[in-house]
Amino acid sequence: MQSAAQSWVEGANDSASGFSLANLPFGVVGGEGRGLRIGVRIGAFIVDCRALVEAGLLARLDDSIRTALTGESLNTFMSLGREAWRSARAELTRLLNAQTPDLRDHPRRKSIMLPEWGMSVRLPCTIGDYSDFYASLHHATNVGSMFRPDNPLLPNWKHMPIGYHGRSSSIVMSGTPIRRPHGQTVQSDLGPPTFGPSKLMDYELEVGALIGTGNAMGEPIHVDRALESVFGLVLLNDWSARDIQKWEYQPLGPFLAKNFASSLSGWVVSLDALEPFRVPLPARPASDPEPLEYLRGTNDVVFDVTLEVSIASAAMRSAGTPATVVTLGNFKEMYWTIAQMIAHHTSSGCNLRSGDLLASGTVSGPTPESRGCLLERTWRGTQPITLGDGAERKFLQDGDEVIMRAWCERAGVPRIGFGECRGIVTPAR
Ligand code: CA
């Protein structure tokens, strides 16, 4: 086994860190009296890209890339396309390698390498349009069987990645408090409704793809080329109010049950970093329909990413009780791939734009532990889960903190970390 490349950055070669030379996710950071700037995470440090450019250390890159890296968000850099992302990544890999003295021995190194603990990570870009899919067969089957026991999967589900258009205005950075929403809810399926705080608040564990290069209106993206347009992946908590959802979702799908907040993790992990964790899309069972031609990639993949959700109530946090893991799953369990979502989304001629966010929908696996929301974990509240301090949960209570983490690991290759996506539920006002 060839050993992984080493970095001179403290903590970067620690195999548990998830932020080795093999990862190098981009993000936007603030703090330490500096304005917003593009950063690259390595070990316990963040490379300040603007400072790197100003020190003349990215002279090998094209002007357009250097200029984009001095911005306050990733939007311009994302729009430059895969060759530009790869050039920047290669140059950062070279500069951070243990064998390269340019940055390691540079007199301004201290003002370029910022300790991670002193910085706050912000939304990586201005999010354009946000579309949310429903691409996990386990999730769709579980939820469908609760609401339609005789007919859990609708006839269209195995023929296309089902999705809806969401809101980007309420996408917030990990760590932002999430206020419990008000809405219409009913006691009986036929109403009448009352208006008040949601009583059935839930998390949804999802992976988001940030679009780097979009398509012109009327020119669909081919499924085989779809991943080329993805700048990287993030974690997403699509907070959901199940009682509001139940009353409003027919006939046009989710609306206010989903639009009050979605939380995003800040470090954007590139598909190049995920290369060792690509898994060929498993063959469908013979009883399933073949996808139509435009959804059939010649070399389509899923990604082997472990996904974890834990909950710490306010009482647990003040008592120092560790958060309780409530979901442990894997992104490779998805039925529809990211490439298929992009190909389907654009197949009508709809144009994706740089900065758009496509989310996978709740990632659920075949086992109870791998179900990606409380609706499924507690089976609509009929099987409460027990937290570390003995308290039971059917749905989220005020003060609960939901913490999502993701990582890729396999013997012999460096671990890839996604960092965290956190949020505390605060009382309705
Ligand atoms: Ca969702």
Where do runs of H (alpha helix) occur along 121-186?
A: 137-147
Spell out the residues 6+ positions from residue 91 whose beta carbon is closer than 8 angstroms to its own.
Answer: 58, 60, 61
Strand, coil or helix: 203: coil
Count Cβ atoms below 10 Å from residue 102 Cβ, excluding itself: 15
pLDDT tens series, the chain, 429 aa: 456 889 999 999 987 889 999 999 999 999 878 899 999 999 999 999 999 999 999 999 999 999 999 999 999 999 999 999 999 999 999 999 999 999 999 999 999 999 999 899 999 999 999 999 999 999 999 999 998 888 899 999 999 999 999 999 999 999 999 999 999 999 998 989 999 999 999 999 999 999 999 999 999 999 999 999 999 999 999 999 999 999 999 899 999 999 999 999 999 999 999 999 999 999 999 999 999 999 999 999 999 999 999 999 999 999 999 999 999 999 999 999 999 999 999 999 999 999 999 999 999 999 999 999 999 999 999 999 999 999 999 999 999 999 999 999 999 999 999 999 999 999 999
Q: How far apart are CA 250 and CA 239, in angstroms?
A: 19
Catalytic-residue membership of 139: yes
Cross-strand pairs, 241? 201
* Partners of residue 46 on adjacent β-strands: 41, 114
Q: Could you say which of 138, 139, 344, 345 is catalytic?
A: 139
Q: Residue with structure tokens 């913490």?
A: 403
Cα-to-centroid distance, 204 and ligand 1 (Å): 6
Q: Using the mean position of ligand 1's atoms as its centre, give its distance from the Cα of residue 48 in Å.
A: 33
Task: Name the CATH superfamily for 130-301+331-368.
Answer: Fumarylacetoacetase-like, C-terminal domain (3.90.850.10)
Domain residues of the chain, as ranges? 26-122, 130-301+331-368
Cα 34 to Cα 55, 70, 103, 108, 114: the distances in Å are 16, 13, 20, 16, 11
What is the fold of 26-122? SH3 type barrels. (2.30.30)
* Gap from CA of 409 to ligand 1 centroid (Å): 26
Residue 114 C-alpha to ligand 1 middle, in angstroms? 35
Alpha helices in 7-81 (DSSP H): 49-54, 63-69, 75-79
Helical residues (DSSP H) of 15-81, grouped into ranges:
49-54, 63-69, 75-79
Q: Ligand 1 center to residue 413 CA distance, Å?
A: 32
